[in-house]
Structure 1
Amino acid sequence: MTQQLVTTASGTRINVRDVGEGPPVLFIHGWSLSGEVWDRQLRIVAEAGHRAIAMDQRGHGGSDAPLSGYDITDLTDDAIGVLDALGISSAVIVGWSLGGMVALRAAHDQPDRVDAVVMVASNGVAASRTDAFPFGVPTDGPLEHILAAEHDNRILLRRKAVGDPFKKPPEPVLLDWLHRISLQTSSWAGRAAMRTLMCTDQTHVLDGLSVPVTALVGTADPALSLRGARWVADRVGSRLVEFDCGHYPMLECADDFDRALLTAITAPAAITG
């Protein structure tokens, strides 16, 4: 595996893990974590004959952490910038949680660069209720609570944030691992990325979407509206795979998840809507 910093057109340096040869697959993690969470999937996808790449979103992991620039368009530009820096014309993009929103936005904005989208624990359009997306929790209350907790006791907030979305309490060693990764994300990047996650509404990207989409979601995910995920799948005619787990299907039901992931990568669901 090669691990390196690549520089995007904006000048932001993004940390990437790159292993294997073949059709490229770009993995994008969720809020406050990093590409390290994809370690098992990088190996499995590479062994299946693909070039598997995991990026740390700006402000996360080993990537640069500017004070600003965390809007969904900035994060999407970073993902395309990674492809540019690695000389990749197009790739399957696998995005988890916030990364799922980035993946779907990339498919809308630059469909010629995205061969297929796999959204994990994400509907791709909104994490909170809006006029256009009437599912999930309201934005204001939860967001203000999270931002205040991040300011008052970032260490405790991060431990709860990474541990609570499991269906069952994770093993202490697993929670310790996720907590360590989360604390690599600075407070300013964490707050800005959380605002993007909670306040973005990109239901408009569903109109005219031409890239194949698969969503892999947990039926007991407290951070995701399952009704909302089903609504998106019905609207665009994409494939939806449901697991009996929480927000971490790649950790909570890894074998089933890996099989579904490989299917989504090698036989993407065509858009019918």
Structure 2
Amino acid sequence: MARFDCGDGRSVYYEHHRGSCTPVVLIHGWAMSGRIWAGTVEALKADGHAVIVIDHRGCGQSDRDFADMSVGAIAADVAAIVAQETTMPVVLNGWSLGGAVAAQAAHLLGDQAAGLVLTCGASPRFTRTDDFPHGGDPDGLAATAAALAADRAGFFHGLAQGICVREVSAPTIEWMWAAFIDSGPGVIDSLVDLGNVDQRDLLAQLDAPVLSIVGGADPILDPEVGKAAASIARNGTLAVIDNCGHAPFIEDAPAYLAALRRFLASL
């Protein structure tokens, strides 16, 4: 475990698991924690990959009192940690909001980004617009902020219960809830900022191959967003895991890992 100094006395937590194969950087979703990737980390380590796992600003074991909680700021942290930890090309894998973070970090890293994986990723857009009909209602972000302010514990518990469409154990739901409730007070700012992020041009110009892994029955993020990402990317590939919700790496780990391993082997 280690900490990255972001300046102004604040830092983010990360782990660097050493390995001889291509490093994979795992970036968690909104208000979550890098610990959610535990099963994926174990599988990648067994395959020989180095793995870097990062807790966003305000989440997990990172400091909580950052003034800037934007997607861009989180992505800058990721890129700086990668540049500090390795000179090898890396694959960035972002889940949900972490998908937008990973895409921006890939842009910042340039040639050091060997590939980008969007795991139910909120890229190119989280909300729909007149010229992008996929994603959520932009007005829904204000409702989310209000619900979070009214009953933080209850809101996050309901969110944890709604992530998966396949049956998962009660302890798994409580594990996700514990990660959510441990997030800092500023995480809503990251979600609000996500509503303004548009990465269509970024994906179209990105040289690195892109794999978009979509939960076919995702109740949190419109599956069409992930499908659009694969079609917009210059070198995009789509993998749809049928009858799966917003966390395919938990709901159907074998299918998820198979898609991820195929992509890694292709690089």
State the TM-score bracket (shorter-chain normalisation): over 0.9
Residue 134 of structure 1 deviates from its aligned partner by: 1.9
Give distance in 2, aligned partners of 1:79 and 1:55. 7
Partner of 1:194: 191
Partner of 1:34: 33
Partner of 1:255: 254
Give distance in 1, aligned partners of 2:222 and 2:27. 20
Give distance in 2, aligned partners of 1:66 and 1:133. 34
Give distance in 2, aligned partners of 1:71 and 1:210. 24
- Give yes or no for contact 1:154–1:187 (8 Å, CA) kept in 2: no
Partner of 1:100: 99
Unaligned runs of 5+ in 1: 269-273
SS of 1:199's equivalent in the other structure is: coil
- Give yes or no for contact 1:8–1:82 (8 Å, CA) kept in 2: no
Residue 150 of structure 1 deviates from its aligned partner by: 1.0
Give distance in 2, aligned partners of 1:21 and 1:219. 32
Please tell me whether residue 145 in structure 1 is matched to residue 148 in structure 2: no
**Per-residue deviation, residues 154-176 of structure 1 (Å, max 9, x unmatched):** 00011112221211453211111
Please tell me whether residue 115 in structure 1 is matched to residue 114 in structure 2: yes
Residue 266 of structure 1 deviates from its aligned partner by: 2.5
Alignment of 1:1-273 (within 5 A): 3-8=1-6, 12-22=10-20, 23-140=22-139, 142-168=140-166, 170-188=168-186, 190-236=187-233, 237-244=235-242, 245-268=244-267
TM-score, L = length of structure 2: 0.92
Give distance in 2, aligned partners of 1:16 and 1:109. 19
* RMSD, matched Cα: 1.8
- Give yes or no for contact 1:5–1:14 (8 Å, CA) kept in 2: yes
Give distance in 1, aligned partners of 2:225 and 2:248. 18
Amino acid at match of 1:32: A
SS of 1:187's equivalent in the other structure is: coil
Give distance in 2, aligned partners of 1:106 and 1:18. 17
Give distance in 1, aligned partners of 2:19 and 2:166. 36
Amino acid at match of 1:158: F
Amino acid at match of 2:224: R
Q: 1:99 to 1:202 in 2, by over 3 A?
A: same
**Per-residue deviation, residues 47-100 of structure 1 (Å, max 9, x unmatched):** 111111111011100011224212221111010111133244531111101111
Residue 258 of structure 1 deviates from its aligned partner by: 1.1
- Give yes or no for contact 1:20–1:47 (8 Å, CA) kept in 2: no
Residue 37 of structure 1 deviates from its aligned partner by: 0.7
Percent identity (aligned): 27
Residue 260 of structure 1 deviates from its aligned partner by: 1.2
**Per-residue deviation, residues 206-234 of structure 1 (Å, max 9, x unmatched):** 23221110011100001222223222212
- Give yes or no for contact 1:233–1:239 (8 Å, CA) kept in 2: yes
- Give yes or no for contact 2:213–2:226 (8 Å, CA) kept in 1: no
SS of 1:117's equivalent in the other structure is: strand
SS of 2:195's equivalent in the other structure is: helix
Amino acid at match of 1:30: G
Amino acid at match of 1:69: D
Give distance in 2, aligned partners of 1:46 and 1:230. 29
Give distance in 2, aligned partners of 1:10 and 1:80. 18
Give distance in 2, aligned partners of 1:62 and 1:212. 31
- Give yes or no for contact 2:23–2:88 (8 Å, CA) kept in 1: no
Residue 123 of structure 1 deviates from its aligned partner by: 4.9
